Chains A and B, each alone.
Chain A
Amino acid sequence: GENVEQHPSTLSVQEGDSAVIKCTYSDSASNYFPWYKQELGKRPQLIIDIRSNVGEKKDQRIAVTLNKTAKHFSLHITETQPEDSAVYFCAASIRSGGYQKVTFGTGTKLQVIP
């Protein structure tokens, strides 16, 4: 089955600096890669996603890149703010039959230091 590895497990940055989280996946059939943000005690919420036919996607301070050949994708957060502090999960997904099979990474705890 699919295996998603995520690094680093923890990341501390100064406010205003950039943060990068990297993930690798094993199944070349995966074609959808969402990123979720989870604040303490809250539910995971989608912040950005990318499909396998796209190499990069941006949404204001957040961007995701995908390298299908190397089977890795990354989340980039620029100009970090204290409210960016949370746990971030990457995931790799493939539609199998009638459902979406999603495999999550183990998460990165991001701390933005004011």
Chain B
Amino acid sequence: NAGVTQTPKFQVLKTGQSMTLQCAQDMNHNSMYWYRQDPGMGLRLIYYSASEGTTDKGEVPNGYNVSRLNKREFSLRLESAAPSQTSVYFCASSDPSLADTQYFGPGTRLTVL
């Protein structure tokens, strides 16, 4: 049982490049989330998926898109990376039957030059 996994762990992009961050969970959770973490600002929600087939914007969605590929996988795409998107990205999952606890992946450290 791996929990929540993310790939890649590190990535360096040039301004304007695109990339997709992958997230998968094997806990059969319905809900999945993407957060970004910046120094002094805690964790901010980018997008979430309440259940398979649905996605919605969070607090800071501009510049990102998401896909809930199936119940296990939730990807985050940067179409045209900007230096302001330099951050650590965390994926998380939860399920209402499990007391709403969010379980986080190991994170992806992204640098945009």
Contacts and interface: CB of A to CB of B under 8 A. Distances in A.
Contact of A46 (B43, B101, B106): B101
Interface residues of A, number: 24
B100 A95 contact: yes
A105 B42 contact: yes
A44 B36 CA distance: 12
Interface stretch (B18-26, B45-53, B73-81): B45-53
Contact of B90 (A9, A32, A43): A43
Contacts, number: 56
Contacts of B45: 101-102
Interface residues of B, number: 28
Nearest to A6: B42
Contacts of A6: 42
Given A95-B100, A98-B50, A100-B102, A44 B43 contact: yes
Interface string B14-34: 000000000000000011010
A45 B43 contact: no
A99 B101 contact: no
Nearest to A96: B50
Given A43-B90, A44-B90, A100 B96 contact: yes
Contact of B104 (A1, A44, A49, A105): A44
A111 interface: no
Given A6-B42, A98-B30, A102-B102, 5 more contacts: A97-B50, A98-B54, A100-B94, A106-B40, A107-B42
Interface of A: 1, 6, 9, 32, 34, 42-46, 49, 89, 93, 95, 97-102, 104-107
